[in-house]
Amino acid sequence: MLTAEQVLASHKANIETLFGLTSKAFEGVEKLVELNVQATKAALAETANHTQAVLGAKDAQELLALQAGLVQPLAEKTAAYSRHIYDIATAASAELSKTFEGQAADAQKKFVGIVDNAAKNAPAGSETAVAVMKSAVAAANNAFESVQKAVKQASDIAEANFNTVAASAVNASKTVSKKR
């Protein structure tokens, strides 16, 4: 049985975890806002510079060259922006996952302790029921570990695909820029 002190300690730990997760979520939002402000400032400055250059073009050939010169840097900047967003989201997700995994591991240990304690205090003749309970706990732990591994593999594949698509987009823009 849990004592009042254990229940209070558990609630306190849960509240601390909640505030920690909230803090991490806000850090991610702050980073996204900062990235968007920087990207907006850079885009405004580049648009002003490009507009000045277009207005100063002496002929159609120079105007076409200015427009063609805009395509590749824009694609590269878009890919870099997307990469920053992906990195921020991945870092925030990793922090949350680490916290949840720690909480899950702690809960598993506590539950196994309760099962072991119950097994020690079980009445004679209940060995089969205790063995079934321990087997069920072990199976649940194995299933949880399998899901964690599958999520990690899916995350690794998604990151590899993201990197491939980003590189392809930049390379395609280089090819288009060279043809003009």
**Which pLDDT score, from 0 to 100, does residue 179 have?**
56
Helix 4-55 with 60-120: angle, nearest 10 deg: 170
Convert 117-147 to b/e letters by CB count within 10 Å (16 or more is b). eeeeeeeeeeeeeeeeeeeebeeeeeeeeee
Residue pLDDT, tens place only, 74-109: 778 888 888 888 888 888 888 877 777 777 777 777
| CA dist., res. 171 & res. 75, Å (int) | 9
SS3 call for 78: helix
How many residues in the chain? 180
How many domains would you assign to the chain? 1
Report DSSP state, residue 122: P
How much is the pTM? 0.57
| CA dist., res. 33 & res. 46, Å (int) | 20
Neighbours of 79 (CB within 10 A): 19
| CA dist., res. 43 & res. 34, Å (int) | 14
Q: Which residues form the domain of 95?
A: 4-179
- State CA 12 to chain mean position distance: 27
SS3 call for 10: helix
| List of the chain residues with pLDDT < 70 | 1-2, 72, 114-115, 118, 122, 148, 162-163, 165-166, 169-180
